[in-house]
């Protein structure tokens, strides 16, 4: 076990725990406004203080974690679910028109700054969590397509794949039965990193008002709301800001740790 893995897993599970806990319990109801109690700094009753409507920040952060994780998770799911089959097909049909079509299509998506397209999508279909998920998801597709194609290409040269081909298995079956399990490590590591990028992207979209709409709490919007109050209520910005930093840090450490842990070469070296 390495330190990165432990620290990363610790931070990530903390966020996960907070998100799941929020389904059954939060210190206060995150949706109830209590304006006389607004802008309290962290204290005994409100551990992280209250916002400009007197809502409990800890409760909002917990429910906001739910929004962030859900958006990022589904977005990574879309990216993997579409990107990996595309990448595997491209690798299996290396050099053919299909390979070209898939990879140039990926280049096309990559060529656009993701936030610009996300804004376009939400402008056309309306702001909201679902459209944010779709926008972020689309930009995960080429990442996974490239990774899986690259890794699969080198596997296609290996003897055990040749053996499978000699045994008469179709390319599709080989991709599913032999290639995919062998690139799974890579995908898990990349998935963790994309997950953290997804959380950042969700925060960015909500910050400009295109993510989850009020009253659903979202870390990015909490930051945006805090902007004009930073000078007299810094906790309003620090709390969601730190939540984003710690989550992204945790997931990145987790990804790093997982890579070290899952990498067969390093595993041999450790043994």
Partner 1 sequence: MSLKSFVFTASSVLALTAGAAVAKDSITIAMQLEPPHLDPTSAAAQAIDSVVYVNIFEGLTRFMGDGSIAPLLAKSWEISDDGTVYTFSLQEGVAFHDGSAMDAEDVKFSLDRARAEDSTNAQKALFAGISSVDVVDPMTVKVTLAEPNGSFLFNLAWGDAVIVAPESIEDIKTAPVGTGAFKLADWVQGDRIEMARNADYWGEAPVLASATFKFISDPTAAFAAMMAEDVDAFDNFPAPENLPQFEADPRFQVLVGSTEGETILSTNNKQPPFDDAKVRQALAHAIDRQAIIDGAMFGYGTPIGTHFAPHNPAYVDLTGGSAYDPDKARALLAEAGLADGFETTLHLPPPSYARRGGEIIAAQLAEVGIKAEITNVEWAQWLETVFRGKTFGLTIVSHTEPMDIGIYARPDYYFQYDNPAFQDLMATLNATTDPEARTALMQDAQKTIAGDYVNGYLFQLAKLGVAKAGVLGLWENAPTAAIDLGAISWAE
Cα→Cα distances 260→22, 112, 257, Å? 33, 32, 5
Ordered alpha helix ranges (H), 93-210 = 97-111, 114-125, 129-156, 159-166, 171-174, 180-207
**In this chain, which of 6, 214, 267, 270 binds partner 1, going by CB under 8 A?**
214
**Residue 82 within binding range of partner 1, rule CB under 8 A:** no
**Residue 41 within binding range of partner 1, rule CB under 8 A:** no
**Residue 26 within binding range of partner 1, rule CB under 8 A:** no
As a whole number of Å, the CA-based R_g of the chain is: 22
- Using the contact rule CB under 8 A, the part of the chain among 52-60, 109-117, 154-162, 177-185 near partner 1 is 52-60
Distance of CA 16 to the CA centre of its chain: 13
Nearest to 180 by CA among 137, 142, 138, 144: 144
Applying the rule CB under 8 A, the residues between 149 and 168 that interact with partner 1 are none
Which CB, 113 or 126, lies closer to partner 1?
A: 126
**Residue 227 within binding range of partner 1, rule CB under 8 A:** yes
C-alpha–C-alpha distance, residues 259 and 132, integer Å: 29
Query: Considering the complex, what minimum distance in angstroms separates the CB of residue 26 from partner 1?
Result: 16
**In this chain, which of 215, 245, 267, 270 binds partner 1, going by CB under 8 A?**
215
**Residue 33 within binding range of partner 1, rule CB under 8 A:** yes
**Residue 53 within binding range of partner 1, rule CB under 8 A:** yes
**In this chain, which of 9, 63, 65, 127 binds partner 1, going by CB under 8 A?**
127
Applying the rule CB under 8 A, the residues between 105 and 124 that interact with partner 1 are none
Which CB, 31 or 115, lies closer to partner 1?
A: 31
C-alpha–C-alpha distance, residues 194 and 83, integer Å: 13
Query: Considering the complex, what minimum distance in angstroms separates the CB of residue 65 from partner 1?
Result: 20
Residue 211: exposed, middle, or buried by beta-carbon count in 10 A (0-12, 13-18, 19+)? buried
C-alpha–C-alpha distance, residues 183 and 108, integer Å: 25
**Residue 52 within binding range of partner 1, rule CB under 8 A:** yes
Query: Considering the complex, what minimum distance in angstroms separates the CB of residue 212 from partner 1?
Result: 11
Instruction: Tell me the torsion sign for CA atoms 199, 202, 204, 206.
Output: negative
Give contact residues for partner 1 (rule: CB under 8 A): 31-33, 35-36, 38, 52-54, 126-127, 209, 213-215, 227-229, 231-232
């Amino acid at each position: 076990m390495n330190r990165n893995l432990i620290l990363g897993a610790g931070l990530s599970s903390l966020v996960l725990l907070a998100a799941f806990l929020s389904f059954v319990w939060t210190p206060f109801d995150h949706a109830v406004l209590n304006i006389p109690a607004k802008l309290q700094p962290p204290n005994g009753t409100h551990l992280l203080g209250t916002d400009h409507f007197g809502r409990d920040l800890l409760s909002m952060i917990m429910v906001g974690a739910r929004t962030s994780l859900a958006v990022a998770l589904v977005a990574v799911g879309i990216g993997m679910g579409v990107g990996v089959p595309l990448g595997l097909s491209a690798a299996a049909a290396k050099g053919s028109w299909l390979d070209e079509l898939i990879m140039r299509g990926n280049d096309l998506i990559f060529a656009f700054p993701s936030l610009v397209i996300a804004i376009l999508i939400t402008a056309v279909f309306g702001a909201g969590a679902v459209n944010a998920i779709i926008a972020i998801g689309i930009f995960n597709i080429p990442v996974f397509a490239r990774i899986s194609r690259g890794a699969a290409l080198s596997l296609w040269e290996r003897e055990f794949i040749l053996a499978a081909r000699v045994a008469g298995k179709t390319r599709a079956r080989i991709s599913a039965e032999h290639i995919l399990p062998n690139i799974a490590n890579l995908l898990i590591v990349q998935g963790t990193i994309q997950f953290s990028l997804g959380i950042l992207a969700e925060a960015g979209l909500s910050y400009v008002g295109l993510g989850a709409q009020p009253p659903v709490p979202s870390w990015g919007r909490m930051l945006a709301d805090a902007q004009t109050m930073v000078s007299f209520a810094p906790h309003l910005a620090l709390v969601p800001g730190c939540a984003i930093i710690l989550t992204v840090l945790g997931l990145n450490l987790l990804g790093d740790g997982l890579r070290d842990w899952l990498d067969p070469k390093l595993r041999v070296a450790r043994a």
